[in-house]
Chains A and B, each alone.
Chain A
Amino acid sequence: MDEIIKMTNEVFVDSFEMEEEQLTEDATIFDDLGLDSLDMVDMVVALQKKFNVKIRDDERVRNIRTLGDVYRYIELLRDEGVTSDTSA
């Protein structure tokens, strides 16, 4: 899981210019991190690249509210064997 958190946080630092200290598990994507619907599209694109997955049409993305939700979603993809681009 540590590797998933590290890689996901890299997406938020690189794509959305976030500071590391903002990236806590309970931070809400919209309110705490300040992303909007357009950023969500780019978050999906960036996660696709980072973890080598295709998730744009995955309905579960719509349920993401917090950064922790992103970690757990990626973990789920790993467990499903959809992504192996993490050593976690």
Chain B
Amino acid sequence: MNRVVVTGLGAVSALGSSVDALMAGIAAGTSGVKYMEGWSEYKGLRSLVGAPVVLENVKDIPRKQRRSMGRMSIMAVQAANEAIADAGLEQDVITSGRTGCIVGSTMGGAEALYESYKTILAEHDLAELSSMSFFQCVSHTAVMNLTQYLGIKGTVMATSAACASALQAIGAGCDLIRLGKQDVVLCGGAEELHPTVTGSFDILFATSTHFNDKPESASRPFDRDRDGLVCGEGSGIIVLEEYEHAVARGAHIYAELIGYDTSGSGAHISQSDKSSMVRCLKNALADADVQPEDVDYISAHATATIHGDGQEGSAIKEVFPASVPVNSLKGYIGHTLGASGAIELAAVLKMMQNNLVYPTLNLDTVAEECEGINHVRSLLNKELNIVVKNCFAFGGINASLVCRKIK
């Protein structure tokens, strides 16, 4: 099988519209979580916090390409532009047919879906719908718009597995390159913040509701006082490339993707399941042909839900030595759902490059059920050669990725 490496990173998040802005925010210990003005108008919505993106330079995208884009597609384009520039990919490579694109999301454009149904349901009249409603609503809106914008003619797919969507996109892209079907694949995810999205978690009692007056403290993975996730938004795009292809053009290589697994729990529609997480992690390590003790750092999914963090902590404790550093990045940027795997992987690979692990923000007191693993509580300087990224989604869909630095 071909070897797969990462040669470009792009991210749009609540901390800014670039990977550098993301890393600067993380380094400064900044939370992008805000009180969401206007959300209190929704009856039954108790979580009034979110991690919104401030969109910039939207009109850099020509109107005819932008008209079919909602927020998530615009964020995906901006992240992809950054990733392509970072990778130094030339236009002829992007449009060659040997470059593909896989971008996942939990759902289509939340704002477009809301506005479309609002328009239709007001008078049960379809005549007021814009021709662009469909293109902004559909589940594959981000990848569809992105590939039209870039002129990509290779494999185009949209993964949809809630919070594992982006990591599944990266895993699927990895497989395409391993099998020799593509030389380059732009992979990642995109998601929009919207009261209906937060509301879907809120009615399940999975959101943070006690920190509306202290939004920067609301997203607190593994912490004793955590009370649920805080939705964020953004996009992460990762350039995957066949190793020889990358070497031949002298590309900078962040890491090699050496192991991946995605698998179901078959256990519960919403409850995280430790045993299936253990299986996913072991499968990914086996695929990578590395031992648990070889892993230098784990970037946890840990969204700050009561049940999920405990199950993931227990799974990590069972699989890995207690010395392996673990953090979650969701205190900084909230839970970006279908984008989280890619945005967070961009940050992880930057940390790997600099041999630094940033602490889990808002982790003041480790919850009893999350003890027994090496939580990163302050900036850690450590040689990072092998790292693991987790994404565990509603529907019992798990995904883990193993990356190794190329020296």
A residues engaging B (CB < 8 A)?
16-17, 34, 36, 38-39, 41-42, 45, 48-49, 54, 56
Contact = CB atoms under 8 A, between A and B. Distances in A.
B127 A41 contact: no
A54 B127 CA distance: 8
Nearest to A43: B131
Given A17-B63, A45-B129, 19 more contacts: A17-B59, A34-B64, A36-B64, A38-B67, A38-B131, A38-B132, A39-B67, A39-B131, A41-B130, A42-B131, A45-B127, A45-B128, A45-B130, A45-B131, A48-B127, A48-B128, A49-B128, A54-B127, A56-B127
A42 B132 contact: yes
5 contacts: A41-B131, A45-B127, A45-B129, A45-B130, A48-B127
A46 to B, nearest CB: 9
Contact of A16 (B63, B127, B129, B131): B63
Contacts of B131: 38-39, 41-42, 45
Nearest to B62: A17
Looking at chain B's contact residues, the main secondary structure is loop
Contacts of A41: 130-131
A48 B128 CA distance: 8
Contacts of B128: 45, 48-49
Nearest to A40: B131
A38 B129 CA distance: 12
A43 to B, nearest CB: 10
Contacts of A34: 64
Interface in B282-296: none
A17 B129 CA distance: 19
Nearest to B129: A45
Contacts of A48: 127-128
A69 to B, nearest CB: 20
A33 to B, nearest CB: 12
